Amino acid sequence: MLLVAAALCSLFAGCSSPAAETSEAPPAPASSTEPSEQTPELKDVDLAFFTGKVETVDLLDEIIAAYNAQSGGITVEQEYQNDASNIIKIKFASGAAPDVMTTYEQEYVDQGKYLDLSDWNDVWDRLIPSMRENCTDLNTGNQFRVCTNMTMAGFWYNKEIFETLNLEPADTWEGFVANLEAIKTAMPDVDPWFIFGSEAWHLGHLIEFMPHGYIKAKFGATEAKEAMLANDKAVLNFGDPSGAMATFASGLLEVQSKGLINADVLTATNDNCIDAFVTGKAAMFSNGMWCLSSILEKDPSMADKIGFMPYPSMMADGTPMVLVAEDSGYSISADTQYIEEAKSFLEYLFSAENQKKYSESLGSPSAFTDVDADWAPAAVVEGVNIAIDSAANIGYTNEKPAGFSGDDAGRMVQDLLAGRYTAEQFATAYEEAWDAGFAS
Amino acid sequence: MQKKRIDYSQFLSLPALILFSVFFVYPLLKGVGMSLTNWDGMGKASFVGFKNFIDFFADERAISDIRTTLIFAVGSAVLLNLVGLGYAVLMNSSFRGKSLARVIIYLPAIISPLIMGYIWYFLLQPGRGFLYHAFQQLGLPDLIGNWMSSYPSALAVLVLVNVWQFAGMTMIIYLAGLQSISGDVLEAALIDGATPWQRFYRVTLPLLMPAIRINVVTNIIGSLSVFDVIMSLTEGGPGYATESLSIYIMRMCYGSRTGYSTAVAMILFLIILVPVLISMRLTKSKA
């Protein structure tokens, strides 16, 4: 009986209850400048580092091992979780937030979960100014994360196919469709545009980069983000039957009905896409810089055959767009007792030497001005630079309604491609889902 | 004077009662409380009464998920019982290789439904899957369609995969029922001139009722809470067309709607309770 009682006590001790019982208001974002109880000297501590970036786990293990060996008592332990964005929620809820993490969500910023890093000038002074801007929370104007890299997203295309058919990257949707048709006619076995629609995030990205991209390019990043935060319908105009969202939906239905995208669009995976591209069975696909390492791993000889081009403008008053956004963001928990130790670890990770390794391993340009890394084959770098110079640079939208995620948007595109919506119905349904996301 | 004896045996049930209270009663009561709040999983929770329940029935996606879950459960239960009974009748007869056949039929049941979903995904992928290539070799590539891309066919695939996986388990229960039927009864029917169909329909089937009841109820309960095979095969797609209530609960919970998702879990609990109560009633009346 005693054993059972002891077990029960320990069970209940582990149970946390909803904050209803504590009824405390969310704390204000913490600041690293506020006086804290811990001593400024580094202590013998164990730091928990949480990440959802599978592609950096091995390299970070290596860097962490080197750091631990020379840190004088600080031991960093990396935890990787595939479903990191959900698991971090459980960690926050149970009061077991990691000291350092790569997961970053606006709702956690609003709840004061991250340490304010705005005064960390040693790091900010080394960062490209636009990247610091991208790390800035619109609500407070402060920075709660440091992004070490940049990422780009656009259309990757097979240069050999384009050269064989004398095609040039198109600036407009009409030109883009003409290219797809030319490929389909000349090479019936090749999928002109490969969409891996079984992965909702990919379809969500198409919305993010094309119709949302149009809004961001037209109104500017800050105004567009503010409009998204405030659900300003005059700017967003999602439900307009002749607006960006309906035009995007109409365009997708057009290429689907003409057979210009893969027939298995709703069941194809990212791996299928890479396979098809590497084997010449897909002429182009949309994705971010992160796919580069997978392509080159499958076939290193692709290095000279990979082209990169901006998203064509679908609207008459639009411009070609390419995503240039922050990547690899690191935040410190507002609740950590080891602020100085966490900063010490991150400063080590942010050193030029480690960032060169990181950038080259990730295949993504560094956001630090003092890091000179060969992050991709020269031909790819050149193509990316041309695309960035020739198109409107758009960033990610973190300012979305809490109840309507990128995956939700992607699932709506699945429905569109499955024939559930017309273009106009899709635009209306998207606006309704967006509005409902604010209400929930 | 006779000393009153204390019956210590009743205390033996105490550990089980405590465990039941801790792992079932307490979470259930906690869940009921949580379902009446707007808790987002982290911050402040406020009492909202039955708003979550009202919102659920006003949500088109949720209603569609109920429909999907019920179709999946009823379709699975019917087919599982028909196929399982067919297998059992076959396995109750004599033929060479019966033991091997029984193992092969039962084998899928010991594999995780999640793994099974992924296996079937790679088998069925149009234009890439194993079955596509196999039929292509036979000159019949059109036999494999894009079945997971539309609602009715994707749901049919899910039901069939579920049936394929668990028919062996249903078969075992039917087989046990068939083998418990006395040979004398069947022999008497034979002497009375009953045809094979009459013997099956008039004698075997009524005597199998307890096995039928167990199978129908367990299959419906299992299928109503389906999660893994759908997650791995269609992820509830295209869109949310094949999303089950269990997946909906998970997505709402991770979508910062913990109070609401708990309310949906309560609704699912009640939905599952119906066949359980019917089964208990039937068992009681039989007794």
Look at A399 and A325; give whichever has higher pLDDT.
A325
A209 three-state secondary structure: helix
In a shared domain, residues A98 and A55: yes
Cβ neighbours for A307, distance < 8 A, ≥ 6 positions apart: A156, A157, A158, A159, A162, A169, A383
User: Does B45 sit within 8 Å of A440, measured CB to CB?
Assistant: no
Q: Please tell me which of the candidates A8, A23, A418 has its beta carbon nearest to residue B18.
A: A8
pLDDT beyond 50 at A31: no
Q: What is the pTM of this model?
A: 0.80
pLDDT value of residue B248: 95
Cβ distance of B257 and A1 shorter than 8 Å: no
Inside any domain, residue A31 = no
DSSP run (H or E) holding A62: helix A57-70
A43 — pLDDT class (breaks 50, 70, 90): low
Parse chain B into domains and list their residue ranges.
45-286
Residue A77 CB partners (closer than 8 Å, separation 6+): A46, A47, A48, A49, A64
Q: Residues A244, A260: one domain?
A: yes
pLDDT in tens, A399-423: 778 778 888 999 999 999 999 999 9
Domain identity same for A66 and A162: no
At residue A21, the pLDDT reads 40
Please answer whether residues A184 and A177 qualify as being in contact, where contact means their C-beta atoms are separated by less than 8 angstroms. no
Our count of domains for chain A comes to 2
pLDDT above 60 for A10: no
Q: Do A215 and A295 share a domain, yes or no?
A: yes
Question: Do residues A233 and A362 both lie within one domain?
Answer: no
pLDDT of residue A3: 40
Joined together, the tokens standing for residue B286 give 């039989």
Q: Do residue B42 and residue A1 have CB atoms under 8 angstroms apart?
A: no
Contact B37 A18 (CB under 8 A): yes
CB pair distance less than 8 Å for A417 and B240: no
- pLDDT higher for A32 or B38? B38
Q: Which residues have a Cβ under 8 Å from the Cβ of B202 and sit 6 or more positions away?
A: B189, B194
Query: Would the pLDDT of A9 be above 50?
Result: no
B227-268 pLDDT tens trace: 999 999 999 989 999 999 999 999 888 877 889 999 999 999
Determine which of A81, A106, A252, A266 to mutate to test the interface with B (most B C-beta atoms within 10 Å): A266
Nearest to B146 among A264, A405, A411 (CB): A264
Distance separating alpha carbons of residues B236 and B65, to the nearest angstrom: 9
Q: Is residue A5 part of a domain?
A: no
Residues contacting residue B97 through CB under 8 Å, at least 6 positions apart: none
Confidence of residue A7 (pLDDT cuts 50, 70, 90): very low
Over residues A235-256, the mean pLDDT reads: 96
Same domain for A359 and A414: no
User: Between A20, A89, A90, which is nearest B44 by CB?
Assistant: A20
- Domain with A57, as residue range(s), is 38-149+327-376
Residue A9 falls inside a structural domain: no
Looking at residue A26, what is its pLDDT? 42
Q: What percent of chain A has pLDDT above 70?
A: 90
Q: Quote the crossing angle between the two packed helices B209-224 and B151-179, to the nearest 10°.
A: 150
Would you list which residues of chain A are within 8 Å, Cβ to Cβ, of chain B?
1, 4, 8, 11, 18-20, 23-26, 86, 89-90, 92-93, 107, 111, 198, 200, 263-268, 272, 402-403, 405, 411-412, 414-415, 417-420, 440
Domain match, A209 and A229 both: yes
Dmax (CA) for chain A in angstroms is 83
Per-residue pLDDT reduced to its tens digit, B224-237? 999 999 999 999 98
Cis peptide before A192 (omega within 30 of 0): no
Is there a domain that residue A32 lies in? Answer: no
Instruction: In whole angstroms, give the CA distance from residue A430 to residue A408.
Output: 10
Q: Please determine, for residue A397, whether its predicted confidence score (pLDDT) is greater than 50.
A: yes
Mean pLDDT of chain A: 87
pLDDT tens string B113-139: 899 999 999 898 888 888 888 888 888
Residue in A closest to B243 by C-alpha: A411
Q: Is the per-residue pLDDT at A41 higher than 80?
A: no
Is the CB of B256 less than 8 angstroms away from the CB of A403? yes
Predicted confidence (pLDDT) per residue in B85-97, tens digit: 999 999 999 899 9
CB contact under 8 A, A411 and B239: yes
The CATH code of the domain that includes A371 is 3.40.190.10
- Dihedral angle sign, alpha carbons of residues B213, B214, B215, B220: positive
Within a domain: residue A316?
yes
pLDDT higher than threshold 60 for residue A15: no
* The last residue of a domain, from among A354, A376, A398: A376
Residue B159: name the closest of B170, B167, B169, B168 by CA.
Answer: B167
Q: Which chain B residues contact residue A1 at CB under 8 A? A: 14
Give the gap in angstroms from C-alpha B110 to the nearest C-alpha of chain A. 26
CA distance B197 to B255: 55
Handedness of CA A123, A126, A127, A133 (dihedral sign): positive
pLDDT of residue A338: 94
Question: Mean per-residue pLDDT for A171-185?
Answer: 96
| A397 domain residue, yes or no | yes
* Domain identity same for A137 and A172: no
Q: What is the pLDDT of residue A65?
A: 96
Higher pLDDT pick, B137 / A41: B137
**Cis omega (within 30 of 0) for bond into B238:** yes
- Based on the fold, state whether residues A231 and A105 are members of the same structural domain: no
Contacts of B277 (CB under 8 A, 6+ apart): none
The token pair that represents B190 in the structure block: 């034979």
- Residues A205, A319, single domain; the answer is yes
3-state secondary structure of A283: strand
Residues of B with CB under 8 A from a CB of A: 14-15, 18, 22, 34, 37, 39, 41-47, 121, 125-128, 146, 148-151, 235, 237-241, 254-258, 260
Asked if residue A14 is part of any domain, the answer here is no
Determine the residue of chain A that is closest to B152 in CA distance.
Answer: A418
Q: With a cut of 70, which residues of chain B have pLDDT below it?
A: 1-3, 283-287
- The pLDDT value recorded for residue A5 is 42
Contacts of B49 in chain A (CB under 8 A): none
- Nearest 10 degrees: Cα torsion B57, B59, B64, B68: -60
Residue type, A317: D
Least CB–CB distance from A263: residue in B41, B42, B127? B127
Query: Which superfamily does B45-286 belong to?
Result: MetI-like (1.10.3720.10)
Averaged pLDDT of chain B: 89
Provide, as residue numbers in chain A, all residues whose Cβ is less than 8 Å from the Cβ of B43: 19, 26, 111
CB A170 within 8 A of CB A179: yes
Q: What is the mean pLDDT of residues A366-392?
A: 89
Same domain, A116 and A166: no
Taking one residue from A and the other from B, the number of pairs with CB-CB distance under 8 angstroms is 98
**Which residues of B fall within a CB distance of 8 Å from A86?**
254
> With 0-12 CB in 10 A as exposed, 13-18 as middle and 19+ as buried, what is A23?
exposed
Residues of chain B found within 8 Å of residue A272, distances taken between Cβ atoms: 125, 128
Any domain includes A4? no
> Domain check: are A245 and A388 in the same one?
yes
Dist CA B33 CA B166 (whole Å)? 36
Per-residue pLDDT band for A277 (boundaries 50, 70, 90) equals: very high
Cα-to-chain-centroid distance, residue A432: 24
pLDDT above 80 for A427: yes
